[in-house]
A and B are shown apart, each in its own frame.
Chain A
Amino acid sequence: MKQIALIVILAAMAAVVPLFMGENPYFTGILISVLMMAALSSAWNLLGGYAGQYSFGHAAYFGAGAYTTMILITLYNLNPLLCMAAGMVVASIIALITGSIVFRLRGHYFALASIAVAEIVRLSVLNFEFTGGAQGILLSDLSLWGLDLNSKNPFYYGMLLVLVVSLGITAYLRKSKTGFYLQAIREDQDAAASLGINLSFYKNKALLISAALTSVLGSLYGLYIRFIDTSAVLDLRLSIEIILTAIIGGVGTLWGPVIGAVLLVPLAEMLRSNFIGDALVKAGLVSETSGMGLFLKENLAHAHVLVYGIITVLCILYLPKGILGLFRRVK
């Protein structure tokens, strides 16, 4: 109850933020990215954190939502909400296929199979004609269903809504029978099975909820950016960023994914927009025209994945329970 109240209060606070910001598309854009990554990571956490099944292929569900929505809209101009529902169906089918193959197995297999499925989806999308192949899909029609897609606010609220739903489901599940079963499976699969828990049913249940939430975010992303291709929505890098966000915040905790996203997304944005390189130049530490300055300017923007890699290694070695785990230990 306490957690649900906290979710509602924080969501209400987040909901009024756009009213104070006025028209600042850059800042709103970053906030949308934070909300989206928090929601993605929170959806992943349901399966990875509570059931202990690390999916390395969540990009497949994100991409399924994004591609289904964009294809249906460009071809038939369907209602975006219908498209989202269709995306959820497609993502659920992919999830069910993956789950029915690998949830009978234990250990490393789910991680491996989830990558294989995601790669099959990515390569298929890349090779098929109707998905736009390597060119991706561009949405040029801006006046969809009376929504002003030029404004970022609808997407801010959309992402916030999915995040709240995801956190709400997590908070509810934690104290429900399903949640206890999932945690039992995570701690000791054999013990859980011997107590009569249907392992593959509960793992599949968690995977389905997680995949459906992820696909909605994919649909929103497609409409928001109005352009998708495989490297944006189906890449292994995206799957890893989702996991990493949860790891840094704290896997298997309600708020871990949110904390992870609040820290990581702005960091990635600073690296991508070359904020750090510019700051070094402005501080007079590095001359803009020197070799070092040019190197930073050209390359630092691409280095955010490198930084992610370093953070992952440090986090696993020194902070395996994430930032929230740190606080818990102190307590």
Chain B
Amino acid sequence: MLFFQSLLSGILTGGVYALAGIGMSLVFGVMNISNFAHGDLMMLGMYLAYFAFTLLHIDPYLSLVLIMPVAFLFGFMLEKLFINRVIHHPHQNQILLTVGLGLIMSNTALLAFTSDPKILTTSYSSSAYNLPGGIFLSVPLVISFLITCGITALLSLFLLKTSTGMALRATSQNREAAQLMGINVAKMSAIAFGIGTALAATAGALIAPTYYIHPLAGHSFLLKAFTICVLGGLGSVIGAGVGGLIIGVVEAMSSTYISTDWKDVVVFVLFLAVLLLRPQGLFGKKGEQ
């Protein structure tokens, strides 16, 4: 039973990780940039949900309706102001720029919100569904997972059916060719970064009711999001989705069978193992490494 309990909670948490991973993968695919500020964008999402709840008394899950557009605009602006200026620079400079932006976000949050961790407690925070066989499923995790599935489905529809979605995918496949076909790749980059930011903030907001909210929380999520992307294949959106679920399950299993202290280590060892054995990831194309 312990096994199924861990498996199910792993999948539920993994869904939220998947959302963060998909955001990062989309940015990587379209812009070929590793966004080191992704974890900090998640942290901002956590605080947005927290303040929407404490100041405006909006349920953290309802507040997504506000958080997503705000985060999209923020990401769009970040891309226009900073990221697009280094898009043709060596990738080290791109990484450092996003590192710098991340440091600014996390340390501004540290100044503004202090280093005391905040806890978002809703009326249903500690309630759980009882499944036959003595398995408990935490209510906030189940809601988060369902919302994640909904958002992922909408995103897939957007990418597959709309002309903007197709333009995004074309830019991701071949930037130069897309430009020659008349696609405004600069605009696509800004949209991709906006969507990536919105997904990161959403993941942050979804995880806020079950996690400590802290200015430096982004750090551990950043590495998780990278692990997910590399596991799924950098730039592959489906891969990131599957990668998120795998990481969630691996984390839950290692908490149960090894210890909570070592669960992050297990995740990073898995990351190195993927680089060693299958660097293109589960869904990536070979030969791009």
Contact = CB atoms under 8 A, between A and B. Distances in A.
Decide whether A and B are members of one complex. Answer: yes
Interface stretch (A2-10, A203-211, A259-267, A304-312): A304-312
Contacts of B77: none
A316 B97 contact: yes
A105 interface: yes
B95 A302 contact: no
Contacts of A48: 92
Nearest to A186: B90
A184 B82 CA distance: 30
B125 interface: no
Contacts of A113: 271-272, 275
B82 A313 contact: yes
A54 B289 contact: no
A183 to B, nearest CB: 14
A236 B226 CA distance: 15
Interface string A290-331: 000000000100110110111111001100100000000000
B189 to A, nearest CB: 17
Chain B residues touching A, range? 35 or more
A303 to B, nearest CB: 6
Nearest to A239: B99
A175 interface: no
Given A306-B111, A309-B101, A317-B85, A119 B95 contact: no
Contacts of B173: none
Given A102-B275, A317-B82, A305 B93 contact: no
Interface stretch (A120-128, A192-200, A213-221): A120-128
Interface in A236-263: 236, 240, 243-244, 247
Contact of A105 (B97, B261, B279): B279
Contact of A116 (B82, B102, B261, B272): B272
Contacts of B269: 120
Given A106-B289, A108-B34, A302-B110, A313 B100 contact: yes
Contact of B103 (A56, A106, A126, A312): A312
A25 interface: no
A293 B97 CA distance: 32
B285 interface: no
A180 interface: no
Interface string B237-280: 00000000000000000000000011011001101100110010
B108 interface: yes
A101 to B, nearest CB: 5
A179 interface: no
A312 B230 contact: no
B187 interface: no
B223 interface: yes
Contacts of B226: 112, 115-116
B222 to A, nearest CB: 9
Nearest to B107: A306
A154 interface: no
Contact of B92 (A111, A115, A126): A111
Given A112-B226, A119-B264, A313-B82, A320 B100 contact: no
B2 interface: no
Nearest to B276: A101
Given A112-B226, A116-B268, A123-B264, A107 B91 contact: yes
B177 to A, nearest CB: 20
Interface of B: 34, 82, 85-86, 89-93, 95-97, 99-104, 107-108, 110-111, 219, 223, 226-227, 230, 234, 261-262, 264-265, 268-269, 271-272, 275-276, 279, 289
Query: Which are the 6 A-B pairs with shortest beta-carbon distances?
Result: A309-B103, A312-B100, A306-B107, A309-B104, A313-B100, A116-B268
20 contacts: A56-B99, A101-B275, A105-B275, A109-B230, A116-B226, A116-B227, A116-B268, A119-B265, A120-B268, A236-B219, A244-B96, A305-B103, A306-B111, A309-B100, A309-B101, A309-B107, A311-B100, A316-B86, A317-B85, A320-B93
